[in-house]
Amino acid sequence: MILTNVASPTKPLVADDVEIVRRVLAHIDAGTTDEGAAWREPVVNYLDATRFAQELKMLRSMPSVFVPSAAIPNPGDHVERTAFGVPLFAVRGRDRRARVFRNACRHRGFTLVEGAGCAHALVCRYHGWTYRLDGSLAHVPHQEAFPDLDLPGRGLIEVDSHEVDGLVVIDALDSRPDPDDDALAWLTDGTPWRDKLVPAQRLVYVDATLRPMNWKVLVEQFLEGYHIRSTHKDTFFPLQYDDLNVVEVFGPNSRLTFPYRNIERLRDRPESTWSTDARVTYLYQLFPNVMLATFPDLMLMIVVDPVDIGHSMVTVYSMVRPEMADRSESDVGQPNPAAAGTLIARGTVEDNEMSEGVQRGLSSGANAFVEFGRHESAAGHFHAVLDERLARSTPAITAS
């Protein structure tokens, strides 16, 4: 069963480059793609306010990826994001440890970190309360005006977090971790993505955009290649194959391989020399709401944060290897490698147009369910995991 996939200590969680190339070439020759279970998702699950509230509560009760490590490489670097409706920020301490805090001053609750930056201390713009990088309260102007102030006890509220393999992962926001829940383990074993993400040490651009779509509709657009020819006929289709993916599942997460046509150049080369670099895009879906996407010389981390039933905040972190960043900084031009007009940006516009159309169609009354075929099994896996997590948390939701 896909929801209880347990990794063997001697078996890799995903295939290596050689095996991926073998599988892709076999699909090209046979005109096939990886197949899995079909799935039908009730339309009401995208439109019902009670369901959305349950999803949001469930999302706050489980671990998730917060930011890439590349967002805070140096002591004092900090960056904020609202995760599942909860304002948070991450900061790199003088001890080089990444910490995540709830983004509110302990005086009047003013948002402490706004945007990204680097500082020796964190100073609230409202009244000047000052915090060290480890979250402890360092200075209160006119401290004598607060006779009962417990300075050591009024530090910032930390969220338990773990930094591993290029990602900062947070624990549950609204509840204590379930010792029998293995969700955290699947996010802190980075062996499936380590060699792809960790070398992309330089964050070069961040973009956050409010999109008029349910968060699940946005996640779904990443999880199949069945639409390549029809949606991306002048962008990705000339470079990639329509409806040809390798799909791998590890725990609640999945990895899709989108091969480029140049992969066929490997046919006449020894297998020992095969590499997927610049020959595939890997798409890692890290449950529940984060995607890692590899492109030649570029790694994207895409976060989809639910805002309400019909809106989501999409934050994209663009990362490159240091040598690529140094090269682009010496060039004159747009620093965003996925800027308007680039292939990635044009493809993204096309995907978002399709998702907006899906969102509008959900309210038409035409369909009782959204159909995912056997060639869209990664989307089915996502929904199966979501259903399982909701079923697990529903008693707690009802009791509260």
- All structural domains of the chain: 17-62+193-393 (3.90.380.10), 64-168 (2.102.10.10)
DSSP 91-118: EE-TTS-EEEEES--TTT------SEEE
Question: What does each C-alpha distance from 175 to 20, 160, 172, 186 come to in angstroms?
Answer: 39, 11, 6, 19
The pLDDT averaged over each successive group of 10 residues in the chain (400 residues) is 42 95 98 98 98 97 97 98 98 98 98 97 98 98 95 97 98 84 95 95 95 98 98 97 98 98 97 96 98 95 98 97 73 62 92 97 98 98 97 62
Strands 202-211 and 311-320: antiparallel
In the three-class reduction of DSSP (H, G, I as helix; E, B as strand; rest coil), residue 76 is classed as coil
> Within 13 Å, how many C-alpha atoms sit on residue 385's CB side?
26
> Using CA atoms, how far apart are residues 352 and 220, in angstroms rounded to an integer?
11
Q: Quick one: how far is CA 339 from the chain centroid?
A: 19
Q: What letter represents residue 52's amino acid? A: F
The span from the CA of 306 to the CA of 180, in Å, is 26
Say what the pTM is: 0.93
Residue by residue, DSSP assigns 280-307 as: EEEEEEETTTEEEEEETTEEEEEEEEEE
pLDDT for residue 328: 59
- Determine contact, residues 139/197, Cβ cutoff 8 Å: no
Backbone angles phi, psi at 356, to 5 degrees: -65, -40
pLDDT the model gives residue 177:
73
